[in-house]
């Protein structure tokens, strides 16, 4: 059984102030400005994993009071299964000592998944020694909060997590855009000039080959039409001469 969570008494939290922080990112076509900050974003969906009923209730009510959607799990096994789901919360607060799977082990398993946008993980425990904090962070946790937690400290740490998640989502979007652009570049590079008359194909070294030979060596090639030097001399130049003679 984990230690009971008793929040330190403190005054009611002040209304969230407007966050003026922005980050900008260039896009392939145009540009976009993405707002970063918990105050500007929709309430974060947060998973909590706590086996002690009192601690779990206090934490759940605290988070719901701040406007968050809370997914409640009662042990490490439930938490692990919930974090594997397609709609898993992007942020999780995990008790260190739980039945089934302990918090640090969940952190290690999640980090091994190598997701494009990893879950932001906060360990919540009475273990407050330096060695414990180091062990928790080394397991893959992003942050560490000791019990009994201070409401204002926890809220500030959640805001840090929200900002980092916003940046990670923006970075993942940027990577997808670059991958799409790279795919378009490869597609354009795959277009090859083919003579409209004799169907010879020009390669990257400016040599012309019979179409059968080129297709045999490049089965995925796509073609655009051009004119090889031989057909230019034998076909195009005589036709141009005829047209010049007619105009004269």
Task: With 0.85 as the threshold, say if the pTM is over it.
Answer: no
* CA distances, 100 to each of 40, 52, 105, 107, 109 (Å): 37, 14, 10, 14, 14
Whether 1 shows a pLDDT value over 80: the answer reads no
- Residue whose C-alpha is closest to residue 145's, from 48, 40, 39: 48
Token pair of 165 as six digits: 């998640």
Domains of the chain and any CATH numbers:
22-184 (3.40.50.2300), 190-247 (no CATH)
- Which stretch of 9-23, 142-156, 201-215 has the lowest confidence by average pLDDT? 9-23
Burial (0-12, 13-18, 19+ Cβ within 10 Å), 103: buried
Over residues 51-71, the mean pLDDT reads: 93
Cα 184 to Cα 180: distance, rounded to the nearest angstrom: 6
Q: Residue 185, CB half-sphere, CA atoms under 13 Å: how many?
A: 7
**Residue 18: pLDDT band with limits 50, 70, 90:** very low
20 or 119, greater pLDDT: 119
Over residues 205-216, the mean pLDDT reads: 70
Residues in the chain: 248
pLDDT at 45: 92
Any idea which residue has 């090889």 for tokens? 228
Q: Is the dihedral of CA 43, 49, 53, 59 positive or negative?
A: negative
Helix (H/G/I), strand (E/B), else coil: 189 = helix
């Amino acid at each position: 059984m984990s230690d009971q969570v008793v929040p330190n008494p403190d005054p009611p939290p002040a209304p969230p102030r407007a966050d003026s922080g922005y980050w900008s990112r260039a896009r392939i076509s145009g540009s976009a400005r993405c707002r970063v900050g918990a105050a500007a974003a929709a309430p974060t969906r947060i998973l909590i994993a706590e086996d002690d009923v009192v601690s779990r209730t206090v934490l759940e009510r605290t988070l719901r009071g701040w406007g968050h959607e809370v997914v409640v799990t009662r042990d490490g096994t439930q938490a692990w299964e919930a974090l594997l789901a397609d709609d898993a919360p992007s942020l999780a607060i995990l008790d260190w000592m739980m039945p089934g799977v302990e918090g640090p082990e969940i952190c290690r398993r999640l980090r091994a998944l190598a997701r494009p946008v990893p879950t932001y993980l906060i360990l919540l425990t009475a273990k407050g020694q330096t060695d414990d904090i180091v062990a928790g962070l080394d397991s893959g946790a992003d942050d560490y909060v000791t019990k009994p937690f201070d409401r204002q400290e926890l809220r500030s740490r959640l805001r840090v997590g929200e900002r980092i998640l916003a940046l990670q989502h923006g970075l993942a979007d940027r990577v997808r855009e670059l991958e799409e652009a790279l795919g378009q570049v490869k597609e354009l590079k795959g277009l090859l000039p083919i003579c409209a008359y004799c169907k010879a194909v020009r390669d990257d070294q400016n040599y012309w080959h019979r179409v059968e030979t080129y297709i045999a060596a490049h089965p995925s090639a796509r073609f655009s039409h051009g004119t090889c030097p031989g057909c230019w001399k034998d076909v195009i130049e005589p036709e141009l001469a005829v047209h010049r003679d007619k105009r004269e």
